[in-house]
Structure formats: structure tokens, C-alpha cells
Amino acid sequence: MLNQKLFISSHAPFWHNGSSITAKSYHIMLAALPAVVMGIVQYGAPALSVVAFSVATAMMWELLMNTAMKRPVTIGDGNAALIGLLFAMLMPASTPWWAVLVGTFVAVIVGKGIYGGMGCNPLNPTLVSIAILTLSWKSLLDFDATLVNYDLGFYMVYPLGAVRHFGTFALTNYDISGFLWARQIGGLGSTFGLGLIIGGIYLILRGTIRWEISLSFLAGLFLTALIFNVANPEKYANPFFHLLTGYTLMGAFFLATEDSSSPVNFIPMLLYGVMAGILTVLIRNIGAFLDGVVFAVLMMNIASPLLDKIRPKAMGRRIGYA
């Protein structure tokens, strides 16, 4: 049987459109880069060290999880690196090393690994980690306190906090268009509005993330903020302020759109986005936290499988067929 010609036999189709998980992860990281670079330019080496350490430890946790579970090594798919990068973008530049280590552990292992890896996680891993850090070490994400030693030449008070405590009177200290150019404090990669918008539009046009989720999230947030603003303009900030502060743009383009924890059907995607936007403003304006994106998206993650039950009737399905 030597020299026998053998063909590769497999099931149809024999073509593939060339997409892959690895390419998808790298596209998202590429789109996030402008905002990350801006953070590094602003805060210097501390920001760089948080980003580098976060990506490195996230990948390390993934490798450890693969080894411990005797599963194929999946750090090549770029998902762990992406989780690490997004985690760093949400944290302030002054985050201590141990917090990054714990944060990426929670994200990669508690948020994803224990469910069976990428695609099996019910919640966004990055947000699980941020939520647990927020609840466990409140001071870590208190941007006013943790960035107290920095002066970047603009008003160094966390905008959402200022409005919450002093009403819209505090807005006179800010130039809202400056938020587009990262003239606000916050997570090291979450303040550069223009960079995030460009990255988000790139991802939407490439089909990497779903426009249904991003746009409905922004629309839900805008409309709810508008209603609050109209009802009480002295207490509640205008919707443009909400669009450009906190984690709004990160949430719209990089967090709410995470595949595994978001719906896939058209109407569920719209509902998911709108409701996450509404919840965000509710938490910001009348809830217990300054920024609402983290818990709003996590809440909608939980609702996502239920929302996905709203789906079109499959071809030829008999009504009442059980």
C-alpha cells in the first residue's frame, strides 16, 4: 500500500470564508489601540505597566487553566489577551500590580475558565472582574483618590462623581467636547472618546461586532438621560455628557458586544442594548454607583439567553409543533 494516493475526505462545505477566532480577537485589540495609546501618552510608564502586566497575566491564567483542566492550549486564540487588554483599559493608571493580578485571575478563571472557556461564559469576563474589584476594594476604582498625584492640565475630578454630588452646576468646570480628546479622568483606556468611536466604527464596518447592540445601547442611554435631564435639568446632566463619560463608549463597543454573553437574534440584540443603556442611566442617576455600565451590562448578560428566545419562525416549522 506504499505510495498510494489518498485524498482528504470530509463533509461539505469545502470552502470557508477565512474568518477565525484569532483574527477576531486581534481586530478588536487593534480597534482598542488608539484609546490605549492615548492612555499611555497621558499617564506614562504606570499606564504602560498596567496594560502590559494585565495582558501578560491574563494569558498566564489562561495557560494555567488549560494545563490544570488538561484541555488544549487556547492562548493562541487571542481571547485571553483581549480580556487582559480590556481589563487594563477600565482600570486607572495607578492600579497596583496585585490588583491587576487578582483582576485578571477573576476575569479569566472565574469569569470564563470555570464555565469551559471561550463561548461558554454567561457573563462578560472583564466586567465580572471589574464588578468584583469594585465591591471588594472600593478605593481601587475611586478615580479621584487614586489619581490624586496626577495633574494633566485639565479638571482632575471624575465627571460622573462631580455631577452626582454637585448637580449640573459642576458641568461648568468641564468642556464636553474635550471628553472626545481624553480631557477627563477615568479608566486609562476609557477616556479617549474619539479613539473609542473610531475603533467602534471600524469594528462595526468589519462586521466584528454587531451594530444592533452598540447603537441601541447608545440610543437607550441617550434617551433615558434626556428624559432625566428634561425632568430636572439642575440635578441630571444632559445626554451628551453621559455619552462621553465613564465607561459608556467602552460599554457600547467593547463590553456589551462580547459574543458569548450577548444575544444573536435581531430583536433580542436591540432589546439587550436599549435595556443596558436604560439601566446604565438609572444606576448613574438614582442608583448606588457612580458609573452604571458595569452592572447594567452584567444584568443584561443574565437576561441574554431569555431574550434570545424571541426568534423568527424557522422555515417550515409547524405552529404548535412540540
Partner 1 sequence: MIKKPFFALASPGVKYPIFESREMDAVTEIPLPKRASFLVRKPQNSGNGLIIKGGDKVRTGQRLALTAEGGEVLLSTVTGTISAVSQHTGYLGEDFISISVDVAEEDRWDGEFERAGKIAEVHRAARFLASLPGKADFAAMINYQPHINTVIINGIDQDFLVTTNQLIMKTRAADLSEGINYIKKIAGVETVILLLSPEMSALAEDMDVAVKTMALIYPNTLPKMLIKSTLGKEVPAGQACEASGVGFINAEAVAALARAFGQGLIPVDKVLTVIKKDGSRVHAKARIGTTVKDILEALKIETDHGDRVVLGGPMTGQALYSEDTPIAWDTDAIMVQDREQIVKNSDSQCVHCGECVRACPAKIPVNMLVRLLENGLYEEAVSEYDLLSCIECGLCSYVCIARIPVFHYIMLGKYEFARIQSAEEANAESEAFH
> Contact 37/198 with Cβ under 8 angstroms?
no
Q: Which is nearer to partner 1, 122 or 167 (CB)?
A: 122
Pick 207 or 233: Cβ nearer partner 1:
207
The residue assigned the cell 467602552 is 250
On the CB side of 250, how many CA atoms lie within 13 Å of its CA?
31
Question: What's at 227, amino acid-wise?
Answer: I
Cell of 59: 494569558
* Residue number with CB closer to partner 1 (37 or 63): 63
For residue 111, the minimal CB distance to partner 1 (Å) is 15
Least distance from partner 1 to the Cβ atom of residue 211, Å:
7
Residues of the shown chain interacting with partner 1 in the complex, contacts defined by CB under 8 A: 4-21, 23-24, 72, 74, 77, 116-120, 204-207, 210-211, 259-260, 263-265, 308, 311-318, 321-322
Shortest CB 321 distance to partner 1, Å: 8
Nearest CA to 162 among 178, 149, 173?
Answer: 173
Q: Which is nearer to partner 1, 20 or 177 (CB)?
A: 20
Q: What angle do CA 93, 208, 92 make, to 5 degrees?
A: 10
- Rounded-to-integer distance, Cα 106 and Cα 95, Å: 16
What's the min distance (Å) between Cβ of 2 and partner 1? 11
Q: Distance between CA atoms of 322 and 319, rounded to whole angstroms?
A: 9
Helix (H) or strand (E) segment spanning residue 76 = none
Q: Which residue, 238 or 260, has its beta carbon nearer to partner 1?
A: 260
Residue 78 backbone zone (phi > 0: left; psi -120 to 50: alpha; other: beta): left
Nearer to partner 1, 98 or 321 (CB): 321
Compute how many other C-beta atoms are within 10 angstroms of the C-beta atom of residue 88.
30
CA atoms of 111 and 64, how far apart (whole Å): 15
Q: Cβ closer to partner 1: 9 or 149?
A: 9
CB of residue 13 vs partner 1: minimum separation in angstroms?
4
User: What minimum distance in Å lies between the beta carbon of 127 and partner 1?
Assistant: 16
- Residues 162 and 94: their CA atoms lie apart, in Å, by 20
The CB-of-3 to partner 1 minimum distance in angstroms stands at 8
CB 34 within 8 A of CB 80: no
Give whichever of 54 and 121 is closer to partner 1, judged by the CB atom.
Answer: 121
Q: Which three cell numbers stand for residue 132?
A: 468584583
Q: Where do we find the cell 493580578?
A: 101
- Kindly state the smallest distance separating residue 247's Cβ from partner 1, in Å: 23
